[in-house]
Amino acid sequence: MPLARISLPSGRTDEYKKSLADGVLRALVETFNVPQDDQFMVLSEHAPQDFIYNRGYLGIERSDGFVMIQLTVSNTRPLEKKRALYRRIVELLADNPGIRREDVFINLIEVLPENWSFGNGEAQYVKD
């Protein structure tokens, strides 16, 4: 059920973008128990003038390889699962496609399960 919006600098290869999306999905499957086929992602590439971030906020030195990952999820998971997700995303993306840990920004947006419709105009997560 997560909706992932991934923003990255323009000019990355299709292989890089696939590795990025696959890593985020794998982390969601492993830590949030998301089904493997529950993949809804939008990757957006941005020119430098359209991709603005502080390179040193909170003492973390960011590079030109910086990516922003925003995940909309149901508000059903405790803090320890969220921390596990953050760690796993960073681990997987460091391994492939080789993104520095300092360059992975993650933001969760939590919504009620009733705020999802996967088609047919139905709220599939709502039990009547």
Q: What positions carry a catalytic annotation?
A: 2
Per-residue burial over 95-122, b = 16 or more CB atoms within 10 Å of its CB, e = otherwise: eebebeeebbebeeeeeeeeebeeeeee
How many helices (H) does the chain have, and how many strands (E)? 2, 4
Tell which residue, 121, 119, 19, 25, has the closest CA to residue 73. Answer: 25
Beta strand 67-74 with 104-111 is parallel
Q: At what angle do helices 14-32 and 79-95 cross, to 10 degrees?
A: 150
Beta bridge partners of 64: none
